[in-house]
């Protein structure tokens, strides 16, 4: 069975500081992994996607994630947090039957 | 190009009433999915349409939920009768039927509150 685990339901960082949101996956097959973001009162927006090509994936709004097979991780990072990054972030894996399995979400708070 | 749209954005109903949620996928997307996030829980898969056919409805919680996709365009998800535990956010997503594990694009969700 495939699954993802997000560490930390809430993460707070200062504006301008590094953002690091952690995600670990479990998969018996090469995974396709996603990060989605949900801004307040909006839907889920795709940030980036890993499909077994380059291990470092660049997404929108300055975010990137690195796939590390040895650590079964797919952590999301951004060098410098902006107030507009405050949102809930979801790590997810898509199964071969096209079902997406989501993590519980991490709410990112940006401190001024 | 318009994204996935959902209607209504919010719905507040009483237990025992009926509610119908609508989803319009991205034009040309044959695959349409419904997901749900109950308060405090993960977003979970409900069902998957390929055109007008139900490909997988293994995530539907019970027979109070009925999904349709007549003509292979928009889809409706009806809850009848609604129960308190049905409260949550219902997301719709769509993808092109090109390759497996294609990116799914999500709508804004419908926030359902059953009182």
Q: Residue length, chain A?
A: 112
- CA distances (Å), origin A49, targets A108, B12, B21, B87: 20, 35, 29, 30
For residue A106, the model assigns a pLDDT of 97
By the 10 Å C-beta count (0-12 exposed, 13-18 middle, 19+ buried), A106 is classed as buried
DSSP string, B83-94: -GGG-EEEEEEE
- pLDDT tens for each residue of A60-100: 999 999 999 999 999 999 999 999 999 999 999 998 888 99
For residue B98, the model assigns a pLDDT of 58
Residue A40 pLDDT class (50, 70, 90 cuts): confident
For residue B88, the model assigns a pLDDT of 96
Q: A103 near A91, Cβ under 8 Å?
A: yes
Q: Is the pLDDT of residue A31 over 90?
A: no
Q: Collapsing DSSP states into helix, strand and coil, what is residue A83?
A: helix
Q: A50 near A36, Cβ under 8 Å?
A: no
N-to-C CA span, chain B: 37
Taking chain B (115 residues) in runs of 10, the rounded mean pLDDT of each run is 90 97 94 93 94 93 94 94 96 83 90 96
For residue B1, the model assigns a pLDDT of 65
Interface test with B, best of A2, A43, A105 (most B CBs within 10 A): A43
Residues from B contacting A (CB-CB < 8 Å) are 4, 6, 31, 33, 35, 41-45, 48, 55-56, 59, 91, 93, 95, 100-109
Residues from A contacting B (CB-CB < 8 Å) are 32, 34, 36, 42-46, 49, 51, 90, 94-105
How many other CB atoms sit within 10 Å of the CB of residue B111? 16
Question: B44: which chain A residues are within 8 Å (Cβ-Cβ)?
Answer: 102
Cβ pairs A/B, distance under 8 A: 58
For residue A41, the model assigns a pLDDT of 81
- Determine, for residues A104 and B95 on separate chains, whether the beta-carbon distance falls below 8 Å: no
């Amino acid at each position: 069975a495939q699954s993802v685990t997000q560490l930390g339901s809430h993460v707070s960082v200062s504006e301008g500081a590094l953002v690091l949101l952690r995600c670990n996956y479990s998969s018996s097959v090469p995974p396709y992994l996603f990060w989605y973001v949900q801004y307040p009162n909006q839907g889920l927006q795709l940030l980036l996607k890993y499909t077994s090509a380059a291990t470092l994936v660049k997404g929108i709004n300055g975010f990137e994630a690195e796939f590390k097979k040895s650590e079964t991780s797919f952590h999301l990072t951004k060098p410098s947090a902006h107030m507009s990054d405050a949102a809930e972030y979801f790590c997810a894996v898509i199964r071969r039957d096209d079902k997406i399995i989501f993590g519980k979400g991490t709410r990112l708070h940006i401190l001024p | 190009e318009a994204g996935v749209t959902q209607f209504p954005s919010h719905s507040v109903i009483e237990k025992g009433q009926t509610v119908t949620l609508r989803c319009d996928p991205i034009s040309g997307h044959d695959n349409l999915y419904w997901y749900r996030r109950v308060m405090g829980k993960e977003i979970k898969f409900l069902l998957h349409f390929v055109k007008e056919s139900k490909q997988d409805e293994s995530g539907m919680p019970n027979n109070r939920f009925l999904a349709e996709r007549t003509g292979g365009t928009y889809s409706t998800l009806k809850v009848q009768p609604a129960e308190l535990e049905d409260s949550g956010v219902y997301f719709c997503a769509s993808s092109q039927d090109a390759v497996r594990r294609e990116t799914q694009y999500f709508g804004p969700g419908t926030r359902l509150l059953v009182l």
